[in-house]
Amino acid sequence: MLSMHLALRTALLVALSSWLFAQVPASRFDSLSRIASDAMSREHIPAISVAVSSGDGPIWTGAWGFTDLENFVPATADSVFRIGSISKPVTAIATLQLVEDGRLDLQADIRQYLPAFPVKQWPVTMRQLLCHQAGIRNYVGDEFNSTRHYAGVGDALQIFVRDPLVSEPGTKYAYTTYGFNLAGAVVEAVAGVPFANLVRQRILEPAGTVAMQTDDLFRVIPYRARGYRKIAGGAVENCDLADTSNKVPGGGWVATASDIVRIARALLAGKLLKSQAVEIMWTPQKLKNGESTGYGLGWGIYRKDGLLVAEHSGSQQGIRSHLLIVPERRLAIAVLTNLQDSGATEIARLMLDDLLNITP
């Protein structure tokens, strides 16, 4: 049965509109499709959804496979996936918007905005939270697989907020989703509205997203993809249960691939932040000893052939995702899959290699 599913997935292409070829030539679509289908066959990925934006042309989308293997639901451009830690760049954008408004200082002690945050061994700043240098711990024990539902961003802080810092802020890069949860709570306190509402009003609506929303397990979300994992021998099974209300600012949203690219496109067009704030966000941060971490504020940063690439991946129960942006080429690629630990990052980077050959 599994081999039949793989054959169908490889052959299936859904929801590609002919007018999209105005942006990506048919010959290039063939190569992008081949990258996706090769990955699906190699890794037994149930579904892949891809969106590409280049310049001002229409967004190109491609979808392959099944978002629900048990019910044979085909993937389309409307399929909604968990995006995991691609949520972190969204939180960074919301933060920088408040900085532009003059309502938040990246260098200030966060207790200035969130006095309920307990006093720690050292003060913590928003800049440190956004670049994983604040010393906030990450998951311990089985917290990653939490099924507890939290009422809001502030409620979820109880998981870690009383714990001591694991290092002096600024001295160590230590990736932490909880650090972004804390950043989201600060954003919420400064804005005076629930974090999700602020993101919707100031990011999702201006960007023109269609389906992006918090990953609420109780809400009926049309076209939501089911998630899978691979076990020994390569077989695919349903993923662990998880309620991501414990980490909305750090990994608790769902979206279509085109929604993610719309945010990237709005960012490149100056609709979400001014160029100075974007430059701050995409500047690799340094530790106190001068060592560069390769991570900006909510984004991984590297250079390819002299071009700056800002990116972030997402990995959680049932998904692997990746977003990358090449500002100088006004190019953005989003890859969403419904298989945890899949090669979404590799897929996106292979597609980038392919597209750089045709992007002016």
Collect all residues with Cβ–Cβ distance below 8 Å to 352 and sequence separation of at least 6. Answer: 304, 309, 324, 326, 331, 333
**199: nearest Cα among 182, 215, 212:** 212
Say yes or no: do domains 2-83+212-356 and 87-196 share a fold: yes
Q: Model confidence at 24, in pLDDT bands (50, 70, 90)?
A: low
What are 57-66's pLDDT values in tens digits?
Answer: 889 999 999 9
The neighbour count for residue 284, using CB atoms within 10 Å, is: 17
Q: Model confidence at 120, in pLDDT bands (50, 70, 90)?
A: very high
Distance CA 325, CA 312 (A): 9
pTM of the model: 0.93
In this prediction, residue 23 carries a pLDDT of 59
What Cα–Cα distance (Å) separates residue 250 from each residue in 92, 168, 176, 190?
A: 10, 21, 8, 18
**280: nearest Cα among 105, 18, 77:** 105
Distance CA 320, CA 50 (A): 12
In the chain, where the domains are located:
2-83+212-356, 87-196
In this prediction, residue 21 carries a pLDDT of 37
Distance CA 152, CA 143 (A): 17
| Domain formed by 87-196, architecture | 3-Layer(aba) Sandwich (3.40)
**What does the pLDDT average to over 94-115?**
98
Task: Provide DSSP, 158-180.
Answer: GGTTTSPPSS-TTS-----HHHH
**358: nearest Cα among 63, 18, 52:** 52
Distance CA 15, CA 8 (A): 16
Mean pLDDT of the chain: 92
CATH code of the domain made up of 2-83+212-356 = 3.40.710.10
Written as six digits, the tokens of 319 are 């998904």
What Cα–Cα distance (Å) separates residue 329 from each residue in 109, 123, 279, 322, 332?
A: 37, 39, 16, 18, 9
What are 191-232's pLDDT values in tens digits?
Answer: 999 999 999 999 999 999 999 999 999 999 999 999 999 998
Question: What is the 8-class DSSP label of residue 341?
Answer: T
Distance CA 161, CA 145 (A): 19
**What does the pLDDT average to over 107-113?**
98
Burial class (CB in 10 A: 0-12, 13-18, 19+), 140: exposed
